[in-house]
Amino acid sequence: MSSSKDVIQAIRSDQDVLYLLDQRHLPERVEYLTCQSGEEVANAIQALAVRGAPAIGIAGAYGLWLESVRLRGTRDFEHQLFRSAKRLEDSRPTAVNLSWALHEALKVINGLSQDAAIMELKAFADNLLTSDIKANRALGDSGLSLFSEPIRVLTHCNTGSLATGGYGTALGVIRSLFRENKLQEVFVDETRPLLQGARLTAWELHQERIPARLITDSMAASIMAKGWVNAVIVGADRIALNGDTANKIGTYSLAILAQYHHIPFYVAAPLSTFDSETLTGNDIVVEERNPEEIRVIKGRRISPEAFPAYNPAFDVTPGDMISAFITEQGIIKPPYDIALAHLKEQRT
Ligand code: MRU
């Protein structure tokens, strides 16, 4: 189900149905989940069948469209749609892309008839999907300007076609580097607890034969000390106005390690991940997930049952530890408070 070699189609819509590549089963099997209501999409987002900030924004928009189709002809159509948007928004709180997409979708249908609203919601979601792929390709290529020699990159979590409309953010930059012969090797953090690196990033890189090696999260310091890493490139779930960035748990540790070893630390993200309403990282809500995700790996219990565990899904890296942001409109360099305030002005 790929439209081109480097775009795995993880999100696909058809007549009143949404198909989501169920990422819980990767890399063992490629299986699509069928959703026909907002509730089914919210459950899929919550359970991480679909994940990654841009991907859940797109899935959320399709979820609202599915709900509008389901509610066609009901008296309290609009009220129910607002309730569904809230349910979708609450399914994962940290990534700004989800709440942004839902709020924008609701704006689009303000005052429309039911039939027109259904059509507009579908067009909105379709457009979000295609524009995200376009943004990622531009973002990937804009990252090329940062590197003159072939490099070895360390990345975390999964930021590829699975996490976006297609191509990817940090993995998009890696794809562009590979295409331009500017990539020696990728080190893929396994990304505990849910192994998005080992299961998903490794799967995407393997399909395209991009040279890569898997490491456990705790090996990053050691390979940096050996001089094996020229740059760290990660994605983002929400970027505050001062550059503080929420991303998969473990990102902040990598930033500290990179700083110690004088390795540049880049965040690749589309403009839709920059949140002009959030002033600093302190204002970002970090999702806490079920501790069972730490105690159990792939169905196998690894600690005493119900042993207390803490499971934040994300951490916040201070903006002043980030060398630059790679976006579809080019590279954003510090000082971020000035650069991002300027970006906010341009977007309003
Ligand atoms: O919990 P996940 O798998 O949704 O977390 C994903 C990440 O943290 C990604 O790095 C981020 O969403 C950027 S994806 C382009």
Looking at residue 309, its pLDDT comes to 97
Question: 52 CA to middle of ligand 1, Å?
Answer: 4
Tell me the C-alpha distance between 153 and 157, whole Å. 13
Q: Where in the chain is the domain with CATH 1.20.120.420?
A: 11-137
Return the number of other C-beta atoms located less than 10 Å from residue 195's C-beta.
18
Q: What is the CATH architecture assignment of 140-347?
A: 3-Layer(aba) Sandwich (3.40)
Question: 51 CA to middle of ligand 1, Å?
Answer: 7
Structural contact between residues 64 and 38, judged by C-beta atoms closer than 8 angstroms:
yes
Tell me the C-alpha distance between 117 and 230, whole Å. 49
Return the number of other C-beta atoms located less than 10 Å from residue 69's C-beta.
17
Return the number of other C-beta atoms located less than 10 Å from residue 347's C-beta.
9
The burial of 157, by beta-carbon neighbours within 10 Å (0-12 exposed, 13-18 middle, 19 or more buried), is given as buried
Looking at residue 2, its pLDDT comes to 40
Question: 207 CA to middle of ligand 1, Å?
Answer: 20
Looking at the CA of residue 247, tell me the nearest atom of ligand 1.
8
Cα 153 off chain centre by: 19
DSSP code of 199? I
Ligand 1 proximity of 95 Cβ (cutoff 6 Å)? yes
Looking at residue 298, its pLDDT comes to 86
Question: 20 CA to middle of ligand 1, Å?
Answer: 16
Looking at the CA of residue 156, tell me the nearest atom of ligand 1.
10
Question: Which of 247, 272, 314 maximizes ligand 1 atoms within 8 Å of its Cβ, making it the mutation to test the pocket?
Answer: 247
Look up the CATH number of domain 11-137: 1.20.120.420
The pair of structure tokens assigned to 247 is 């991303």
6 as an active site residue: the answer is: no
Which listed residue (189, 237, 244, 315) is catalytic? 237
DSSP code of 312? B
Residue 315 parent element (H or E): strand 314-317
Looking at residue 7, its pLDDT comes to 58
Residue 341 parent element (H or E): helix 336-347
Query: Per-residue b/e over 117-130, b at no fewer than 16 CB within 10 Å?
Result: bbebbbebbeebbe
Q: Where in the chain is the domain with CATH 3.40.50.10470?
A: 140-347
Question: 200 CA to middle of ligand 1, Å?
Answer: 11
Question: Strand order of the sheet with strand 231-234?
Answer: 212-215, 183-189, 151-155, 231-234, 265-268, 324-327, 330-332
Which pLDDT tens digits describe the chain residue by residue (348 residues)?
344 454 578 999 998 999 999 999 999 999 999 999 999 999 999 999 999 999 999 999 999 999 999 999 999 999 999 999 999 999 999 999 999 999 999 999 999 999 999 999 999 999 999 999 999 999 999 999 999 999 999 999 999 999 999 999 999 999 999 999 999 999 999 999 999 999 999 999 999 999 999 999 999 999 999 999 999 999 999 999 999 999 999 999 999 999 999 999 999 999 999 999 999 999 999 999 999 999 999 899 999 999 999 999 999 999 999 999 999 999 999 999 888 988 888 877
Ligand 1 proximity of 248 Cβ (cutoff 6 Å)? yes
Give the three-state DSSP class for 343. helix
Looking at residue 339, its pLDDT comes to 87
Question: Which of 237, 238, 284 maximizes ligand 1 atoms within 8 Å of its Cβ, making it the mutation to test the pocket?
Answer: 237
Cα 107 off chain centre by: 23
